[in-house]
Amino acid sequence: MGRIKIDNNRCKSCYLCVTTCPKGLIKKSSKTNRLGDYLVEFDDKNGECIGCAMCAKRCPDMAIIEVYK
């Protein structure tokens, strides 16, 4: 079971992580950061994350700052 940490203030709502995650664990959120960007949230209730770090490699703003495996 893996885990990621998202820095909300770096996120710019490009949602590339949403389409990249092979397990579909990253979802669009209704929350915004201080710039008004709709954020993403990591939703892994069943412990499906495999810690592949594809989301972090894809994120153009390095908003996914830590990935654990």
Q: Where does this chain bind another protein (CB under 8 A)?
A: 2-3, 9-10, 12-16, 19-20, 37, 51, 53-54, 56-62, 64-69
From CA 48, how far away is CA 69, in angstroms rounded? 11
**Owner of token pair 């990253």:** 26
Least Å from the CB of residue 9 to another protein = 7
Q: Which residues pair with 42 in a beta bridge?
A: 26
Q: Using the minimum distance from each CB to another protein, give the nearer residue, 48 or 67.
A: 67
Helix, strand, coil % over all residues of the chain, rounded to 5? 15, 30, 55
Nearer to another protein, 5 or 43 (CB): 5
CB of 43 to another protein, least distance (A): 19
